[in-house]
Amino acid sequence: MKKFMKTKFLIFFSLISTFGFSQNLTINNGATLTISKDGKLTVSGSLTNSGDLFIEQDADESGSLIAKSASTPTITLKKYLVGNQWTLIGIPVTGEIVNDIDDNLATNSGKSAIGYWDNDKAGGAGWVTFNTGSTDANELVPTRGYEIMRSSSGTVSISGTMLNTDQTQGITTETGTNGNWNLVGNPFPSYLNMTDDSSDATNNFLTANASALGNGAYVAVYAWDGSNYDTYNQSDGDSQDKMAPGDGFFVYASSDTNVSFTEAMQEHDGGIGFVGSVAPPSDPLNGPNNSEVLNREVYYKLKMDDQSENKHVLISFTDQSTKGLDPGYDAGVFRIGNSHIYTKLLKDDNGIGFSIQSLPYSEINNVVVPLAIDSKSSKISIDVVQNTLPLGTLVYMEDRSLKTFIEIDNDYTVNTNSELNGYGRFYLHFTNDIIPELPTDGDFRIFKISENEVRLMGDSDKNYNANIYDFSGRLIKTLNFEHKIDVNNLKKGIHVLKLSSEGVITTKKFVVE
């Protein structure tokens, strides 16, 4: 990569398409400095602009400017937008107004395709769209997020005074549907470290704002990728780790507070952001080396498409995770919309559905995850969009209504005659065994492993006492176990299982053939 370094730099006409560093930078009157889509510029001293300073983007990359101790120069971000597609944006300047940028936007019934989210609107219908030709009174706020759409693919110019101090944005909790969701945006013309997998494990948005986001189920960023909302947190394996200049996103407020964007979070390098290609983890393809044996992390991600919306759920297995709540690594489901797919905690369930759930790696072949689907559609497809599970680990979708097990290694279609709502029907089984049949019903399951061996499986957090009898009533096995146990050396024929757990006694029959 080409670099240049100067103590003082006077600009007349220049294009930065690599990496540049300057202690002081002056752009003369009538001069133009353009940071191209793959250009990065750091100014450690003063930045004075009497001409024009442009930062370019396209569908894959963005230029980036860091000038922390600068004065307050005027800059222009040429924000790239995919045509006829909503994008959530942030504003990296002060002084920009709607009327300056709405000429290139789609319009409908006197409205420009630019607006903001008001979480205090009744009924959860929070979008507010500006009128075409809005006046100066509608100045865009740098730390606030906005929705925007161009009629065709291209850029919109966002111009104003660059910010050179740490920024905060108030987030609020309002009554009614979707009242906790707040739309915010990157206020800097550079990339911003988002997760602890970025170049700074401390100065990143999620770590710095964990307490503001409640230190619980919603320490996450919720971003629109052009077709659906995706959830990004500390454990999302295919997640980008940095926000691009001009990115907007939702956060969940558990109380009325502020989120912060600090200059220490600023960074160069990354992809285009939440729409288009993303800025991936530093080395996503290589497996763990010897120093990372106890830092294993694998992922299994599903997409649900019910013909009106598509949503994702991610389950990760790491050496640092638990079956309970892991703030920053579990992420509550984004509830805006009508269709959802989510899981729940396997221990100390708090009633929150999760679109990202992190579980112990040691349980990767020994866990059953309740899967909830909310949808009014009669046909739902479920596709595997990411699978980095180790070789030999299989995933089965249990459908308790149809009494079936299907290995989910590609896609699966659910046909239903009624509305789906919540838990109870679907379960994901992670196992290194083949599950060939479902010979019993109810919440406690009995699986055939071999000709004379079965697996008894109940809830993951329950203890069981069990007696197994042959059909003549003779006691042949007494068992005490948590969650599940394999029982071998069973003779062919009908058997009776008598279970006791938490004062409830259940009797089941099963057949060994």
Q: Convert the pLDDT of each residue in 281-317 to its tens digit.
A: 333 222 223 333 346 889 999 999 998 889 999 999 9
- CA dist 75 to 57, 80, 283, 297, Å? 14, 16, 33, 41
Cα separation of 176 and 117, whole Å? 14
Distance separating alpha carbons of residues 123 and 178, to the nearest angstrom: 8
Closest Cα partner for 273 from 245, 237, 293, 236? 245
Q: Which two tokens stand for residue 456?
A: 């008894």
Residue 275 pLDDT: 52
Class of domain 454-512: mainly beta
Task: Supply the pLDDT for residue 56.
Answer: 95
Joined tokens for residue 491: 């003779």
* Mean pLDDT of successive 10-residue stretches along the chain, which has 513 residues: 50 61 86 92 90 92 87 91 89 90 70 83 73 66 91 91 94 85 95 81 91 88 82 72 90 94 89 44 29 67 91 92 92 91 94 94 91 93 93 86 79 86 93 57 67 78 88 89 86 86 83 75
Contacts for 175 with CB less than 8 Å, ≥ 6 apart? none
pLDDT of residue 505: 84
CA distances from 481 to 71, 263, 458, 509 (A): 67, 53, 10, 19
Decide the pairing of beta strands 463-470 and 19-35: unpaired
Domain boundaries, the chain: 3-267, 295-431, 454-512
User: Is the whole-model pTM more than 0.95?
Assistant: no
**What pLDDT score does 1 carry?**
42
* 107-108 and 93-94 beta bridge pairing: unpaired
